[in-house]
Amino acid sequence: MGLIPDGLRRWADANGTSLADAYRRGAEKVVEILSILQAHGVGTVSVYNLSRANLSRADHELAAVYAASDHFFTSLIPAHFDPAACSVRLHGDRTALPPGYVSAAAALEDTMRGDAFRINILGAYDAADELRTAHRRAQHDGCDINEAFEIGEVDLVIRTTAEPLLSGFLPLQCQYAQLAFLTTPLNDLDRRHIDDLVADYRGFPQRRGR
């Protein structure tokens, strides 16, 4: 599955709160959603934290994202997931991210090594970068390029805004994904919303173009 946790700036404006508070609550909500998906038997969830294009945002906006991400990496994930069952991996250009962000993610990668539930975090992610990396790996390993991608096919993508856009999120992996664009903001989602989305997906024929 894929999760695009969008709309937090609008949520902050609508609720009269700071960006820092909105993003921190958003990080907590993402962990809640991940826990629900794990309980549903989902094996892998890829979370869109930052695209490379997002890095051009104002410094105060990025500071709010980075603070929430640090909370996510250092406190939330360790408190809610078993390292023997769950793994975490950061995907993207680490050289474009702050050292503290990268070190917190790397520490989590080292401690969370299970394979029952996998969490991919996309930070400073760009699809062209991913394609170039996969191409180099395919050439080096002598394999088909489809086997060289670190993230596999995505079945369902949830975006927490109503705009029908993927915004560069794993375009090759999402070619047959079911897409859900929500009118309920991320910070207002509850278990019922996620349960309904999973049920809708499981009740929909998945023919993959066949």
The domain tally of the chain equals 1
The answer, as to whether pTM is greater than 0.75, is yes
Q: Give domain status of residue 41, yes or no.
A: yes
Q: Give domain status of residue 112, yes or no.
A: yes
Q: Give domain status of residue 93, yes or no.
A: yes
**Domain CATH for 43:** 3.40.1180.10
Domain ranges, residue 58: 2-202
Residue 52 and residue 125: Cα distance in Å, rounded? 5
The pLDDT tens digits for 169-205 are 999 999 999 999 999 999 999 999 999 999 999 998 7
Residue 46 and residue 157: Cα distance in Å, rounded? 9
Q: Give domain status of residue 146, yes or no.
A: yes
What is the reported pLDDT for 73?
98
The pLDDT tens digits for 101-120 are 999 999 999 999 999 999 99
CA torsion, ordered 22, 109, 83, 8, to nearest 10 deg: 10
Q: Is the pLDDT of residue 208 over 90?
A: no
Q: Give domain status of residue 208, yes or no.
A: no
Q: How many CA atoms lie within 13 A of 119 on its CB side?
A: 28
Q: Give domain status of residue 207, yes or no.
A: no
Residue 138 and residue 34: Cα distance in Å, rounded? 31
Q: Give domain status of residue 209, yes or no.
A: no
